[in-house]
Amino acid sequence: MPELPEVETVKRGLAPTFEGALIETVDQNRPDLRFPFPERFVDRLSGARVNALSRRSKYLLADTDRGDVLVMHLGMSGSFRIENDLSQSAPGAFAHPKGKNEKHDHVVFHLETAARNEARVIYNDPRRFGFMDLIPRAELSEHPYFKDLGLEPLGNDLSGETLARLFQGRKSPLKAALLNQKLIAGLGNIYVCEALWRTGLSPTRAAGSLVTKSGKPSKAAVELAANIRETLQDAIKAGGSSLRDHTQTDGTLGYFQHSFAVYDREGEACRTKGCTGAVNRIVQSNRSTFFCPRCQS
């Protein structure tokens, strides 16, 4: 499933076309994806203008001038592509990227962009685990999708002090605490493994061990917060990680997977300078965890 960097990459790719655009009409090519489409989905969007495009956790949010927010989730295999009538050299202009079977084009947004150009934003999803919903903006924060989500890890809210507050007294494994969406929203398996390796922390140690007796963050907590943000930012710059289905909105693949230090590298030499250990794989909460037991403690 795409993680935060992949969703952020998609958001940034869509924004130049989607933001400020008039949705002239919508093609809804099936009654459901993971869930049924909301009632009057096409009618409620046709003629609306997209005021802003944002991301919350792994959700894409398109605010419309009708007071509704179009909520989009990519699921396991969802992706967007942009088709328009501009030259191939224009930002975001391309048609039918390699590997996208048009029979899985389930939603097509026909747009007049803010620059008065015609464009189509197409949602393709072979496995149909993604979904779309329409929620009134006034009800968004209390909607079940969002009301229990924790803080965003890319912003300044994530700090050593924040981790100390969230982890104090917690005996659960550090990796499990980092994946708890009620604490920190959007962190996924890949980038937690990578951030823990960068910090030299074992995924199995108690989350509360990063907090001093006085409730202050340990040095490791401060470093971990910085490394989480840095890992996510590095992945976004690389266009995310393309392991199966993720592509950017211009059809190209992300390439952060080529920078993995531990994820999916079981048995390979640890990349920490001077470490003679090898990457191990264990299972935590039915998910694979990759780490070096020699330099991560």
Residue 20 lies in a domain: yes
Residue 297 lies in a domain: no
Does 133 share its domain with 200?
no
Entry pTM: 0.87
Residue 152 lies in a domain: no
Task: Reduce the secondary structure of 232-274 to three states and give it as a string.
Answer: HHHHHHCCCECCCCCCCCCCCCCEHHHHCCCCCCCCCECCCCC
Predicted pLDDT at 93:
35
CATH of the domain at 122: 3.20.190.10
- In 3D space, the residue among 46, 63, 44 whose CA is nearest the CA of residue 137 turns out to be 63
Contact 262, 195 (CB under 8 A): no
Total count of domains within the chain: 2
pLDDT tens for the 297 residues of the chain, in order:
678 988 999 999 999 999 999 999 999 999 999 999 999 999 999 999 999 999 999 999 999 999 999 999 999 889 999 998 753 433 443 333 444 688 999 999 999 999 999 999 999 999 999 999 999 999 999 999 999 999 999 988 999 999 999 999 999 999 999 999 999 999 999 999 999 999 999 999 999 999 999 999 999 999 999 999 999 999 888 866 544 444 455 555 444 555 789 999 999 999 999 999 999 999 999 999 999 999 999
Predicted pLDDT at 99:
44
As annotated, the active-site residues are 2-3, 58, 287
Which 3 state secondary structure label does DSSP give 21? coil
Predicted pLDDT at 94:
32
Does 61 share its domain with 95?
yes
Taking residue 279's Cβ as centre, other Cβ atoms within 10 Å add up to: 23
Predicted pLDDT at 251:
52
Contact 170, 206 (CB under 8 A): yes
Does 198 share its domain with 86?
no
**Domain range holding 169?**
160-291
Residues 209, 167: Cα–Cα separation, whole Å: 8
Does 109 share its domain with 170?
no
